[in-house]
A and B are shown apart, each in its own frame.
Chain A
Amino acid sequence: MSVVVSPIREPLIGGNKTYHQITEDICAPTETTPPKSWVIAFIASVITLAYGLFCIGWLIYFGTGTWNLNRTIGWGWDITNFVWWIGIGHAGTLISAILLLFRQKWRTGVNRAAEAMTIFAVICAAIFPVIHVGRIWVVFYFFPLPNTRGPLWVNFNSPLLWDIFAISTYFTVSLLFWYTGLVPDFATIRDRASGFRKKLYQFLSFGWTGSAKHWQRWESLSLVLAGISAPLVLSVHTIVSFDFATSIIPGWHTTIFPPYFVAGAIFSGFAMVQTLMLVTRHVLKLHDYITVSHIESMNKVILFTGTMVGVAYLTELFIAWYSGYVYEQFAFLNRATGIYWWSYFGMMTCNVLSPQLFWIKKFRTSIFWTFIMSIFVNIGMWFERFVIIATTLARDYIPSSWSYYTPSWVEIGIYVGTFGLFFTLYLGFSRVAPVVAIAEIKSILKSSGNQYVNHHKDAHHHNINEQHALDHLTAEHEGEHHH
Chain B
Amino acid sequence: MLRKRNKTVIYGLYNDETDLLTAVNKANSKHLDIFDVYSPFPIHGLDPLLGLAESRLHIGGFIYGLLGTMTAFGGMTWIFTRDWPMIFGGKPYWSVPAFIPITFELTVLFASIGMVVTFYTICGLGPGVNNTILDERTSDDKFALAFDLGSLNNDKVDSLRSFLKESGAGEIHIKDI
Chain A interface residues (CB < 8 Å from chain B): 1, 18-20, 23, 144, 151-153, 155-159, 161-162, 165-166, 168-169, 172-173, 176-177, 180, 183-184, 187-188, 190-192, 202-203, 206-221, 223-225, 228-229, 231-232, 235, 239, 242, 438-440, 442-443
- For residue B124, which residues in chain A have a CB less than 8 angstroms away from its CB? 207
* B109 adjacent to chain A (CB < 8 Å): yes
Ranked 7 nearest A-B pairs via Cβ: A207-B129, A19-B141, A191-B136, A215-B42, A162-B101, A220-B55, A157-B98
Contact (Cβ within 8 A) A224 B57: yes
Contact (Cβ within 8 A) A439 B106: no
- For residue B88, which residues in chain A have a CB less than 8 angstroms away from its CB? 155, 157-158
Contact (Cβ within 8 A) B105 A210: no
Partner of B125, one of A1, A206, A228: A206
Contact (Cβ within 8 A) B79 A156: yes
Known: A191-B133, A210-B138, A216-B55. A224 touches B105 (CB 8 A): no
Write the B34-47 contact mask toward A (1 if CB under 8 angstroms, else 0): 00111111111111
- Count CB-based A-B contacts (< 8 Å): 185
Contact (Cβ within 8 A) A169 B105: yes
Select from chain B the residue with minimum beta-carbon distance to A150.
B84
18 CB contacts below 8 A, A to B, read: A1-B21, A144-B75, A153-B79, A156-B80, A162-B105, A165-B101, A169-B108, A180-B119, A183-B125, A203-B128, A207-B124, A208-B131, A217-B119, A225-B115, A228-B111, A232-B105, A439-B41, A443-B41
Contact (Cβ within 8 A) A228 B139: no
Q: Which of B43, B112, B125 has the most A CB atoms < 10 Å from its CB?
A: B112
Q: Which of B39, B128, B134, B137 has the most A CB atoms < 10 Å from its CB?
A: B39
- For residue A191, which residues in chain B have a CB less than 8 angstroms away from its CB? 133, 136-140
Chain B interface residues (CB < 8 Å from chain A): 3, 17-18, 21, 36-47, 50, 52, 54-55, 57-58, 61, 65, 75-76, 79-80, 83-84, 86, 88-89, 91, 95, 98-99, 101-102, 104-106, 108-109, 111-113, 115-116, 119-120, 122-131, 133-134, 136-141
- For residue B54, which residues in chain A have a CB less than 8 angstroms away from its CB? 220
Contact (Cβ within 8 A) B21 A442: no
Smallest beta-carbon distance B76→chain A, Å = 5
Contact (Cβ within 8 A) A20 B141: yes
Select from chain B the residue with minimum beta-carbon distance to A218.
B42
Smallest beta-carbon distance B122→chain A, Å = 7
In the assembled complex, the Cα of A214 lies from the Cα of B104 at a distance in Å of 29
Contact (Cβ within 8 A) A443 B42: yes
Smallest beta-carbon distance A294→chain B, Å = 19
Select from chain B the residue with minimum beta-carbon distance to A199.
B130
- For residue B65, which residues in chain A have a CB less than 8 angstroms away from its CB? 228
Smallest beta-carbon distance B140→chain A, Å = 5
Known: A20-B141, A165-B101, A165-B105. A440 touches B41 (CB 8 A): yes
Smallest beta-carbon distance B141→chain A, Å = 4
Contact (Cβ within 8 A) A212 B101: no
Known: A152-B84, A213-B52. A184 touches B139 (CB 8 A): yes
Select from chain A the residue with minimum beta-carbon distance to B21.
A1
Q: Beyond the given A208-B139, A215-B42, could you list 4 further A-B residue pairs with CB under 8 A, ordered by the A residue number?
A: A209-B133, A213-B36, A221-B115, A221-B116
In the assembled complex, the Cα of A232 lies from the Cα of B44 at a distance in Å of 28
Smallest beta-carbon distance B78→chain A, Å = 10
Smallest beta-carbon distance B147→chain A, Å = 14
- For residue B137, which residues in chain A have a CB less than 8 angstroms away from its CB? 191
Partner of A192, one of B45, B131, B140: B140
Contact (Cβ within 8 A) A153 B113: no
In the assembled complex, the Cα of A160 lies from the Cα of B152 at a distance in Å of 66
Partner of A157, one of B40, B91, B111, B134: B91
Known: A1-B17, A206-B120, A218-B42. A173 touches B115 (CB 8 A): no
Q: Which of A203, A208, A217, A228 has the most B CB atoms < 10 Å from its CB?
A: A217
